[in-house]
């Protein structure tokens, strides 16, 4: 596989919850495919520390290795010996740090160790259904200078090797095009199909505008045609890596259409820019990206337009 992304260091923050365990599968898979170092990090919040609770300490390194071999086994198929012996073991570093804020500890570690990708769960030990967005994961996604891969806990999690569809929503801003190129790299990584989705916002016009539905739909058809031609130009200019891809355009509310499309097409990963046409440097939490992360039926990779962005 041709890989253009440069990912040398992956950070996996863990609170040892079942959701974090599911995210670990994705972190290991990416580390193995990119031949990257995997940093497993546990932030110990001082008021929550319990030195007698084994659930709050790192699992045995051999347990991590066993999971790694299982991923190799699942991804490579029947030739087990070749899958284990022909691939380099992942370089794993484990570290715990104490502090008053888990998100600050995670972000500080990411900056200090030149992390290129953060992989983390969005639920944790705080109780059933509790989502970290609004606290730890939100702050990490908001402030990290690198892409963040978030994994929601699933009753029946899908192994990374079974990723078949990568969805990339675009609004044709520079940020969303950069995210789409990252999505293409991950589609290549997973040997998956890339679906590019453009949502044309529906607006209601006053009657005195004299704009009929026929005019609106005619304009929509023209926009779809222009969008497809622009994507053809982009993919023709950047030919590597080659992946199977298709373009879809729908009209409606952006967040709803992205989520509905992901569900209807069984998307396994959504790659989305943290900024859009507004061009604001601040992360648009509360709008498209945050709502997609909160409600998506699959993992979401958020790509930043500034800092250590891939590619």
Q: Check pLDDT > 80 for residue 194.
A: yes
The dihedral sign for the CA sequence 23, 24, 30, 36: positive
Q: What is the pTM of this model?
A: 0.79
Instruction: Answer yes or no: is pLDDT of 234 > 50.
Output: yes
* Residue 124 and residue 17 in contact, taking contact as beta carbons nearer than 8 Å: yes
What integer is the mean pLDDT of 61-66?
Answer: 62
Percent of the chain with pLDDT over 70: 68
Rounded to the nearest integer, the mean pLDDT of the chain is 75
| Pairing verdict, β 300-303 and 269-273 | parallel
- The CA R_g of the chain, rounded to the nearest whole Å, is 20
Q: What is the mean pLDDT of residues 232-241?
A: 75
Question: Order of strands, edge to edge, in the sheet holding 245-252?
Answer: 92-99, 37-45, 9-13, 117-121, 148-151, 300-303, 269-273, 165-169, 193-201, 245-252
Higher pLDDT, 282 or 116: 116
Q: What is the pLDDT of residue 164?
A: 93
Of residues 5 and 105, more confidence is placed in 105
Structure confidence at residue 310 (pLDDT): 45
What average pLDDT does the segment 278-300 reach? 71
Give yes or no for residue 237 having a pLDDT over 50. Answer: yes
More confident residue, 144 or 132: 144
Domains and CATH numbers, the chain: 9-151 (3.40.50.620), 163-303 (3.40.50.620)
Asked if residues 238 and 137 have their Cβ atoms less than 8 Å apart, the reply is no
Q: At what angle do helices 18-34 and 174-190 cross, to 10 degrees?
A: 80
- Given a cut of 70, whether residue 3 has pLDDT beyond it is no
Q: Which residue has the higher pLDDT, 239 or 260?
A: 260
Q: Count the neighbouring beta carbons within 10 Å of the beta carbon of residue 50.
A: 10
Q: In the predicted model, what is the mean pLDDT of residues 271-276?
A: 82
Local confidence band at 258 (pLDDT 50, 70, 90 cut-offs): very high
User: How does residue 272 score in pLDDT terms, banded at 50, 70 and 90?
Assistant: very high
Percent of the chain with pLDDT over 90: 25
97 vs 117, higher pLDDT: 117
């Amino acid at each position: 596989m041709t890989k253009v992304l440069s990912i040398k260091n992956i950070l996996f923050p863990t609170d040892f919850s079942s959701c974090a365990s599911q995210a670990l599968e994705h972190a290991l898979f990416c580390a193995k495919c990119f031949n990257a170092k995997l940093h497993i990090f546990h932030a110990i919040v001082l008021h929550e520390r319990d030195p007698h609770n084994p659930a709050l300490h790192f699992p045995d390194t051999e347990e991590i290795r066993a999971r790694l071999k299982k991923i190799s086994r699942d991804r490579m198929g029947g030739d087990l010996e070749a899958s284990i012996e022909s691939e380099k073991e992942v370089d794993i570093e484990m570290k715990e740090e104490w502090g008053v804020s888990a998100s600050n500890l995670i972000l500080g570690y990411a900056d200090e160790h030149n992390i290129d990708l953060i992989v983390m769960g969005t639920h944790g030990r705080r109780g059933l259904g509790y989502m970290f967005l609004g606290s730890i994961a939100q702050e990490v996604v908001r402030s990290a200078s690198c892409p963040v891969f978030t994994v929601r806990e699933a009753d029946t999690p899908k192994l990374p090797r079974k990723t078949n569809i990568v969805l990339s929503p675009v609004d044709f801003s520079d940020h969303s095009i950069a995210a789409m190129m990252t999505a293409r790299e991950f589609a290549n990584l997973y040997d998956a199909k890339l679906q590019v989705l453009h949502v044309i916002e529906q607006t209601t016009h006053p009657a005195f505008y004299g704009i009929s539905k026929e005019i609106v739909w005619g304009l929509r058809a023209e926009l779809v045609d222009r969008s497809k031609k622009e994507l053809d130009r982009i993919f023709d200019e950047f030919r590597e890596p080659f992946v199977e891809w298709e373009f879809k355009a729908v009209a409606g509310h952006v967040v709803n259409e992205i989520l509905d499309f992901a569900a209807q097409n069984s998307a396994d990963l959504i790659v989305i820019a943290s900024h859009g046409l507004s061009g604001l440097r601040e992360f648009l939490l509360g709008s498209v990206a945050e709502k997609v992360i909160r409600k998506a039926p699959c993992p979401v990779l958020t790509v930043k337009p500034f800092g250590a962005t891939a590619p």
